[in-house]
Amino acid sequence: TITSMANLASTYRHQGRWTEAEELQLKVWQIRRDKLGEAHPDTIINMGNLGSIYRNQGRWTEAEELQLKVWQIKRDKLGEAHPDTIISMGNLASTYQNQGRWTEAEELQLKVWQISRDKLGEAHPCTITSMGNLASTYQNQGRWTEAEELQLKVWQISREKLGEAHPNTITSMANLAITYRSQGQWTEAEELELKVWQMRRDKLGEVHPDTITSMANLASTYRHQGRWTEAEELQLKVWQISRDKLGEAHPDTIISMGNLAITHQHQGRWAEAEELQSKGWQISRDKLGETHPDTITSMANLASTYWKQNRFSEAEDLEVKVLQMRRHKLGEDHPYTLTSMKNLAIIYQSQGRLSEAEELEEKV
């Protein structure tokens, strides 16, 4: 029956068996659409589920098409402030966010937060989630003050309502720590990250993905304080666990390789840094594509290693590509774009090309 097909598709979805889930969910949606009509509640639920399957596979265009329909139908049928409409807005915003379409994501997330706050109250779990999502969008735009204000609220409410050791509270601590770290507030970041790592390690075990993430974040804070030995110890663990559990070509493994390489770089261990960065860039480029944010970051890091070894031509070649892609993807004024401009200016200076360096520095 259609119901049993839908239930089996849901089971596959929760197991991450996306191909099998998609095949069944597509059938169920088509049958229900033809029998019941596109605006029937059961059809809408199937559309939403299929959109979720596409989103989890990174198929953003297909996910967006369905999620937009779901939101529009729910808004017209149930009203903008109905809980189901709010959830569909949040899902669509998440898809925009994953495509780096920050303005569209922010517009929807702001609505979701305001409606949730007005209807359910500031301390309701749905309101807290929507605050966290909006803060994440601010974070990704480099709007640290706005992100911090929301994240601080989320953490305080979660701690008071759920307790310090609750998974949601721990996540909110971790998110706030990232914002502190991004603003160079190392002491505040370290204090939170150390707590997060210890609680996750005790609750979930050392090899759990969330524990690994918190280890990596704490290592990053150590690295930015020049505490290379402490950073390396954690980063080496993160890389080894990720490689053993997820495989060498997994995005998380690639990121951990890049982080360890940066630490080697700061220790003047250029050969080790270059080996890891070159491997990370090649895997990212092959798996994710040349314009993926992780690939761009790995290119920038490798360019830095070339520059430090006075290999200016190789450094320039990569940094020019990085700047062009970040301009196109993030805009001229994004912090990452400005960092790339500054790095390229330094490379030009190192070659005595002062007018080109000055032209870039004026924009930074």
pLDDT, averaged across the chain: 93
Q: What percent of the chain has pLDDT over 90?
A: 80
Contact 127, 120 (CB under 8 A): yes
Cα distance between residue 258 and residue 280, in whole Å? 7
Cα distance between residue 135 and residue 245, in whole Å? 31
The two tokens of residue 169 are: 């509270």
Average pLDDT over residues 201-214: 93
The two tokens of residue 79 are: 């009203």
Contact 246, 252 (CB under 8 A): yes
pLDDT over threshold 90, residue 275: yes
Q: Is 50 exposed, middle or buried (0-12, 13-18, 19+ CB in 10 A)?
A: buried
Cα distance between residue 87 and residue 93, in whole Å? 10
> How is residue 82 annotated by DSSP?
S
For the stretch 253-271, pLDDT in tens is 888 998 899 899 989 999 9
CA proximity to 219, closest of 190, 196, 198, 258: 190
Contact 131, 155 (CB under 8 A): no
Q: Do the two domains 1-94+102-119 and 229-364 of this chain adopt the same fold? A: yes
Q: Is 355 exposed, middle or buried (0-12, 13-18, 19+ CB in 10 A)?
A: exposed
For the stretch 66-89, pLDDT in tens is 999 999 999 999 999 999 999 999
> How is residue 208 annotated by DSSP?
S
pLDDT at 15: 87
Cα distance between residue 163 and residue 156, in whole Å? 10
Confidence of residue 49 (pLDDT cuts 50, 70, 90): very high
Contact 291, 301 (CB under 8 A): no
Cα distance between residue 220 and residue 222, in whole Å? 5
Helix (H, G, I), strand (E, B) or coil at 334: coil
- Say how many C-beta atoms besides its own lie within 10 A of residue 202's C-beta: 11
The residue ranges of every structural domain in the chain are: 1-94+102-119, 145-205, 229-364
Residue that the structure tokens 């390690």 belong to: 201
Residue that the structure tokens 């990596």 belong to: 216
> At a CB cut-off of 8 Å and minimum separation 6, what does 269 contact?
none
Compute the C-alpha angle 84/156/131, nearest 5°: 30
Amino acid identity of residue 93, one-letter, is A
Cα distance between residue 210 and residue 202, in whole Å? 12
Cα distance between residue 334 and residue 338, in whole Å? 6
- Does the domain made of 229-364 have the CATH classification 1.25.40.10? yes
Contact 226, 266 (CB under 8 A): yes
For the stretch 287-324, pLDDT in tens is 888 998 888 999 999 999 999 999 999 999 999 999 99
pLDDT at 336: 92
Cα distance between residue 279 and residue 76, in whole Å? 51
pLDDT over threshold 90, residue 170: yes
pTM comes to 0.71
For the stretch 128-167, pLDDT in tens is 999 999 999 999 999 999 999 999 999 999 999 999 999 9
For domain 1-94+102-119, give the fold.
1.25.40
CA proximity to 88, closest of 150, 44, 154: 44
